[in-house]
Structure 1
């Protein structure tokens, strides 16, 4: 038998190279398939973190309570809204045949959602003489804007006339004695003008409509809201059993030292009762599988860190991996803590036997639910961004990344120029148009408006109507300047 000659070394090298490419291709394909499964799990979890009925429930509450609310500018207008739309919304009202619907339980005006506990009305006040008027006029004292340092915490008699009232010994009224945030399980929240504490002077809106109207009329006659009031808050919670959603509602009126009121509101639907359907079972399975993925990613990154040591932190994609792991851990912690808070809240609900029994505040649990949703949103974004890394073998993707890397200095220079233009025109717009247009009423608002103008969203008619001459100059100059700079960016990119 004739001996076969050994393979040529050049042919062996070609075969080795081809085999290595095949192994690398198989590794990339396997990584892509696994990661697409991971993306699918995240998308399912993020989808179940929202409920499609939440928007409809929010719209129902808006239609019930927002009539004339956003037009409130004075204290008298607030009392009209409170004694009208607010109390009408908190009661079941009448049936189609004008018969009273008092026998259907603690339902609100839509006759579907149940009022959880009762609503409260509270105000936050500042101390008298919180500032000094530069021009003393008729002996009036000056009251400043709201801040935690000058918030009023004292106890008074009706009319805010006597500060010698002792809550523990005198048989006074709670509407004029300060209630700590812990007593109503309330927490600080952000308004338009300031961040407000969870305490205040509280009115419990428990009882029928006639009693509540009389109580509000008495408070209005006594001047319960006056020049020292800085915020009026209405808070309540409802539950819709048909869609299994709770909702926390807060209607806020911020009182400026000038006397005007700034209305705003927050309605936060949240699902507290989970794992009651087959889809919830799928959600639970996906959460368990995701936890397994997380353990695998943590093991893989720890192994690479031990292997590469300090070189590990030189790769930007490793930082993204660490970010994904950190956000995942934070989301898991937030989710389980939300379950703990929910169980405690449900125990409180079980002890509440009706509308007049207790006040139940869902602010805390909705806050944790919102934090969890934000973390899941960040996780979806970062995980999707990692797909660019998996597509690195594609020539067009590698060409794009190489182009951005090589022209990074030029892009940085253009970014600085655009930033300088935005800041300068934002300050100009704020100074010229700030007292005329809400979109320019602060530097931040002006900056956001000009960024939107750059992308084609603007209301030039309002600008020209407010300041015909200067408004036209600002708008034309800004649009031409930004168009010139952005055009040069694309011209430079094309030449590069």
Structure 2
């Protein structure tokens, strides 16, 4: 009968194992459809490592294409063209009326501004002579001989009204007018001077087609009083002289903006130049300059087509990651919102979508802008709008590239050391507490169960391949792996020593809770250990303590200080009394002698 009962029990256990095995297989089959790293965390450590390795390889390819695409936008030619234009218009010195050489940044007065416009600007825009005595092309407007000015340059100023601020009542007789700093409410839109051309009649931003600009001291809108220069040098100088003779710069002038654009056919690059003279309310001039070199005409060279191929590859990966995020949203539902890396993924996808929209806008707007310049060569070649789109596109993809490299920390768990770094950075909030965070992570890892890392996973499967190829003798033995597991026991021992336990107590804990290099600690054992530690802590705190409280100790110290002060005062009074007694005794002795 006993044998029959034991056989029945064994059959029941076997049936339970079969049922359990079937359930596990069903669970695995349910989760095999597009398993991501986050989903694989519910299937086991080996599944996590397998999926992590696949995602890491895919991500490395995506990172390479993204780097080539984003870094390839700006080349060394962009830097050198920007530098050449700045050296010509900003850094190069010119002589003033008194013969002193100054540069663009040294301009301090309106007189210096007029001298810069009449001499240095006109000479820099028109290169009508070469190194030989033969005259060059008269109306070429080729800066540095190689950079063609598109259209003509434009001078534009913004003003404020003479009643834009209030003068104090004490000084109203001395100051009849008041000019405030520039704002939309204080802007002057009334004609002035001869009142016959755009230089003397206000034009709105819709008429000028200029964008607002943020200067050093204020933000200026696209409207104002403007004049387009000529393609002839002598006519340009005459236009500037007419503005000067009719007092174009007044007390209400708050900024003068000089805009012109150039194209270098050798490099297929556009230079967008803006020179600004700001007139603050305190007087003087604050000069500044902005030079942007952009590549508006793409698909011109083999390198451009290569960058386009990298860009298309990036968007292919973005589509893949978009479907991957949708898969995780459906699987995790509201739990999806509690994962940090999901926000990074969504932000990268959003930035690339914005960059794609800006790229399409750029492709559509550039031909229209260039056709307008070609159809109206004597007007200002306006490329401000397309340049702003280009700059925003570069800013967006630059942020995206930063986040792409930041996401690389997600795949750092190749071994225990890199896992510690990843956990430290994920838990750390401020750089000042990074050492404490690392210590906490080190303690958590020391008491955590030994898990397989990516490097161990690769070694394991690579070892299987080598063993099948007959190269197993070159692989390390299992004892070497066990020695790595023993390191966890040493870490646990170190943690307990830091907590104040002696070696004997540590051995007793190991023996009581069955902690060994190859054994697993169950939940019951850990709960029992924590309960025991809590009982010990409560027992220690429940003991009668003969120690003095901190508040009592501080109050006693203050009382002792008061007593010391009182005793010191008594000693000083006693000394004074003794000195008086001595003087009285000396006086009585002298009287007796007399």
Q: TM-score interval w.r.t. the shorter chain? A: 0.7 to 0.9
Asked whether the equivalents of residues 412 and 422 of structure 2 are also in contact (C-alpha less than 8 Å), the reply is: no
1:469 matched residue in structure 2: none
Distance 1:384 1:413 in 2: 21
Asked whether the equivalents of residues 88 and 109 of structure 1 are also in contact (C-alpha less than 8 Å), the reply is: no
Asked whether the equivalents of residues 373 and 382 of structure 2 are also in contact (C-alpha less than 8 Å), the reply is: no
Asked whether the equivalents of residues 296 and 366 of structure 2 are also in contact (C-alpha less than 8 Å), the reply is: yes
1:100-139 residue pairs with structure 2 within 5 A? 100-103=135-138, 106-134=140-168, 135-136=170-171, 137-139=173-175
Distance 1:303 1:24 in 2: 17
Secondary structure of 1:79 counterpart = helix
- Matching of residue 61 in structure 1 with residue 82 in structure 2: no
- Matching of residue 392 in structure 1 with residue 392 in structure 2: no
- Matching of residue 375 in structure 1 with residue 411 in structure 2: no
- Matching of residue 70 in structure 1 with residue 91 in structure 2: no
Once the two structures are TM-superposed, the CA of residue 409 in structure 1 deviates from its matched residue by 8.7
Q: Which of 174, 186, 194 in structure 2 is aligned with 1:150?
A: 186
Distance 2:163 2:361 in 1: 43
Once the two structures are TM-superposed, the CA of residue 89 in structure 1 deviates from its matched residue by 1.1
2:177 matched residue in structure 1: 141
1:90 matched residue in structure 2: 125
Deviations 1:64-104 (A, max 9, x none): 2123211111111000000111111111231223433125x
1:279-298 residue pairs with structure 2 within 5 A? 279-298=303-322
Deviations 1:331-381 (A, max 9, x none): 1111111111112112223324x4xx2221111111111100011111111
1:227-266 residue pairs with structure 2 within 5 A? 227-266=251-290
Once the two structures are TM-superposed, the CA of residue 393 in structure 1 deviates from its matched residue by 4.6
Gaps of 5+ in 1: 1-5, 159-164, 166-171, 415-494
Asked whether the equivalents of residues 193 and 247 of structure 2 are also in contact (C-alpha less than 8 Å), the reply is: no
Does the C-alpha gap of structure 1 residues 322 and 397 become closer, same or farther in structure 2, counting only changes over 3 Å? same
Asked whether the equivalents of residues 228 and 379 of structure 2 are also in contact (C-alpha less than 8 Å), the reply is: no
Asked whether the equivalents of residues 140 and 231 of structure 2 are also in contact (C-alpha less than 8 Å), the reply is: no
Deviates more, 1:257-266 or 1:396-405: 396-405
Asked whether the equivalents of residues 93 and 109 of structure 1 are also in contact (C-alpha less than 8 Å), the reply is: no
Distance 1:301 1:214 in 2: 64
Asked whether the equivalents of residues 58 and 268 of structure 1 are also in contact (C-alpha less than 8 Å), the reply is: yes
Secondary structure of 2:354 counterpart = helix
Distance 1:400 1:359 in 2: 56
1:149-168 residue pairs with structure 2 within 5 A? 149-158=185-194
Distance 1:331 1:410 in 2: 32
Distance 1:41 1:404 in 2: 26
1:361 matched residue in structure 2: 382
Deviations 1:379-416 (A, max 9, x none): 111111111111135322332344456665995899xx
Deviations 1:89-147 (A, max 9, x none): 111231223433125x5233411110100001111000111111224152432111111
Does the C-alpha gap of structure 1 residues 412 and 338 become closer, same or farther in structure 2, counting only changes over 3 Å? farther
Distance 1:382 1:323 in 2: 8
Once the two structures are TM-superposed, the CA of residue 322 in structure 1 deviates from its matched residue by 0.8
Does the C-alpha gap of structure 1 residues 408 and 220 become closer, same or farther in structure 2, counting only changes over 3 Å? closer
Distance 1:55 1:407 in 2: 38
Deviations 1:253-295 (A, max 9, x none): 1101121111101011111111111112212222222221111
Q: TM-score, normalising length from structure 1? A: 0.73
Distance 1:368 1:195 in 2: 19
C-alpha RMSD over aligned residues:
2.7
Larger Rg: 2
Distance 2:387 2:132 in 1: 38
Secondary structure of 2:222 counterpart = coil
1:85-484 residue pairs with structure 2 within 5 A? 85-103=120-138, 106-134=140-168, 135-136=170-171, 137-158=173-194, 172-352=196-376, 354=377, 357-403=378-424, 408=429
Q: TM-score, normalising length from structure 2? A: 0.61
| Larger RCO, structures 1/2 (Cα 8 Å, 6+ apart) | 1
Does the C-alpha gap of structure 1 residues 107 and 387 become closer, same or farther in structure 2, counting only changes over 3 Å? same
